[in-house]
């Protein structure tokens, strides 16, 4: 099936292809953009269309194919033509919900979340502090408290009851003040630690995930940027946001690597570090991404880790435009085996599900005010998401996450 047939099939699926009111051989077919309507005629020896593509090439266009997918014209012995409708409606594929495992994961999620977070924080190396005065809060306790606060979705003051309960359960050595939690979130030294904890939290699923998807999403903040618009003589404002670039497994939606970039930064350069970080612990079979990541560098990056890339090409792309054999092969695969390509590219929708899971559970906005604190809060949200995914997979797949620090304590490593 070539590109025109694919587009015709998409138009036919809208259900808007209909014969005209006074002539059953004339059909009104909307354009893909929905802004225009073209007339397809089946009365002649060959079907025709008044769209620019058919008038230029004199070949079946996507509008003719759309009619062919919906209607079939049959010539009778008396010279008349009978048109019948043939479009069939396929049943939407559904996926069963394993309610027993789901309910068990939900009921014990918060208790198990604290245990996994404690085991993960146990491997954090405490900095050497050479000063007098009151003893400082342990770094592991501060990261536990900050991440647990983000998980609770409470303010710092209202969260203290949960933190005292965690202390009674011996999850932390002491209860830090809520201002101490805020101070640690504003420490830029916390950013690489949280980034590494996200990577570590995904490792128990290394034997499960082989296909991955890449995309970015923004988290809104309460901070606004204002400027004076000289053209319209008025003050304008817009909210700041933090843009997170992530790569996730398409089976469990676990995030294996994350990069925080500038608000207006292009997505494409972030694919390389995300894939390379993931490849250190995961076997990569496929990587799906949208057109924003279409570049020779990204294709070579995925190929270097023995993976296949399923990234659509932009409308102005050509087979020989980049001078790379890999680019040419993928371009021809995209153009001439579109149906097979789309069957793999469809896995990219799982990255949208991942962002939806994360934002619905932990919020799509940030409470922090400073740049560093907003980045660290975003990383805490992603870490919370990974631990929740692990809890659900413990019940569905029967895995038992054992992090490095816990393994060393128990003598398993």
109 lies in a domain?
yes
Contacts of 229 (CB under 8 A, 6+ apart): 235, 236
CA distance 101 to 304: 38
Specify the number of domains making up the chain: 3
Same domain, yes or no: 247 and 112 = no
Same domain, yes or no: 65 and 103 = no
199 lies in a domain?
no
Domain span at 7: 3-85
198 lies in a domain?
no
Helix (H) or strand (E) holding 393: helix 371-396
Tell me the three state secondary structure of residue 138. Answer: coil
333 lies in a domain?
yes
pLDDT tens series, the chain, 413 aa: 677 888 888 888 777 888 887 777 788 888 877 778 888 887 777 788 888 888 777 678 888 888 887 776 444 455 444 445 554 434 456 667 788 998 999 999 999 999 999 999 998 888 876 666 677 889 999 999 999 999 999 999 999 999 999 999 999 999 999 999 999 999 999 999 999 999 999 999 999 999 999 999 999 988 887 888 888 888 888 888 899 999 999 999 999 999 999 988 899 999 999 999 999 999 999 999 999 999 999 999 999 999 999 999 988 888 876 668 888 888 889 888 888 999 999 999 999 999 999 999 999 999 999 999 999 999 999 999 999 999 999 999 888 887 754 444 344 43
Same domain, yes or no: 58 and 72 = yes
Q: 219 with 225: CB under 8 angstroms?
A: no
Same domain, yes or no: 75 and 122 = no
Same domain, yes or no: 327 and 313 = yes
Q: 310 with 304: CB under 8 angstroms?
A: no
CA distance 239 to 222: 7
Same domain, yes or no: 287 and 145 = no
- Tokens in use for 186? 């504003």
94 lies in a domain?
no
**Given strand 26-30, what is the order of strands in its sheet?**
18-19, 26-30, 37-41, 48-49
90 lies in a domain?
no
CA distance 406 to 413: 9
CA distance 379 to 150: 10
Rg of the chain on CA atoms, in Å: 28
What residues form DSSP beta bridges with 227? 236
**Given strand 308-310, what is the order of strands in its sheet?**
255-261, 234-249, 211-229, 286-288, 308-310
Give the closest residue to 259 by CA, choosing from 249, 241, 275, 274.
274
Q: 241 with 221: CB under 8 angstroms?
A: yes
What Cα–Cα distance (Å) separates residue 90 from each residue in 87, 97, 160, 343? Answer: 10, 22, 53, 16
What's phi and psi for 64, nearest 5 deg?
Answer: -65, -40
Same domain, yes or no: 358 and 287 = yes
Query: For the packed helices 271-279 and 296-304, what is the interaxial angle rounded to 10 degrees?
Result: 0
Same domain, yes or no: 65 and 167 = no
CA distance 87 to 85: 6
Same domain, yes or no: 155 and 51 = no
Please state the three-class secondary structure of 71-128 as a single string. EEEEECCCCCEEEEECCCCCCCCCCCCCHHHHHHHHHCHHHHHHHHHHHHHCCCCCCC
User: What CATH number is associated with residue 245?
Assistant: 3.30.420
What residues form DSSP beta bridges with 73? 83
């Amino acid at each position: 099936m070539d590109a025109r047939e694919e587009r015709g099939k998409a138009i036919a699926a809208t259900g808007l292809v209909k014969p005209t009111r006074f002539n059953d051989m004339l059909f009104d077919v909307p354009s893909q953009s929905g802004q225009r309507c073209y007339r397809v005629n089946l009365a002649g020896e060959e079907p025709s269309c008044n769209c620019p593509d058919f008038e230029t090439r004199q070949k079946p266009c996507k509008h003719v194919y759309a009619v062919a997918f919906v209607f079939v014209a049959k010539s009778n012995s008396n010279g008349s033509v009978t048109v019948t409708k043939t479009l069939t409606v396929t049943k939407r594929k559904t996926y069963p919900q394993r309610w027993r495992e789901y309910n068990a994961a939900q009921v014990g999620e918060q208790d198990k979340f604290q245990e996994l977070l404690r085991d993960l924080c146990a491997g954090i190396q405490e900095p050497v502090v050479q000063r007098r005065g009151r003893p400082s809060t342990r770094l592991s306790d501060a990261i536990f408290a900050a991440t647990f606060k983000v998980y609770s979705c409470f303010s710092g003051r209202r969260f203290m009851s949960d933190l005292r309960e965690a202390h009674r359960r011996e999850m932390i050595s002491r209860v830090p003040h809520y201002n101490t939690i805020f101070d640690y979130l504003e420490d830029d030294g916390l950013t690489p630690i949280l980034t590494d904890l996200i990577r570590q939290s995904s490792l128990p699923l290394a034997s499960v995930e082989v296909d991955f998807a890449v995309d970015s999403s923004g988290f809104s903040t309460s901070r606004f940027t204002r400027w004076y618009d000289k053209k319209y003589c008025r003050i304008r404002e817009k909210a700041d946001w933090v843009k997170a670039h992530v790569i996730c497994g398409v089976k469990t939606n676990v995030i294996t690597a994350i990069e925080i970039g500038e608000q207006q930064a292009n997505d494409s350069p972030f694919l390389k570090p995300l894939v390379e970080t993931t490849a250190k612990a995961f076997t990569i079979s496929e990587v799906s991404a949208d057109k924003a990541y279409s570049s020779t560098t990204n294709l070579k990056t995925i190929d270097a880790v023995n993976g296949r890339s399923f990234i659509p090409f932009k409308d102005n792309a050509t087979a020989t435009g980049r001078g790379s054999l890999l680019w040419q092969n993928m371009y021809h695969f995209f153009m001439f085996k579109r149906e097979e390509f789309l069957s793999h590219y469809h896995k990219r929708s799982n990255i949208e599900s991942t962002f939806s899971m994360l934002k619905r559970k932990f919020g799509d906005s940030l409470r922090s005010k400073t740049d560093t604190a907003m980045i660290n809060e975003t990383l805490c949200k992603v870490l919370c998401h990974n631990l929740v995914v692990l809890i659900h997979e413990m019940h569905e797949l029967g895995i038992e996450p054992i992090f490095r620090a816990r393994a060393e304590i128990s003598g398993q490593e």
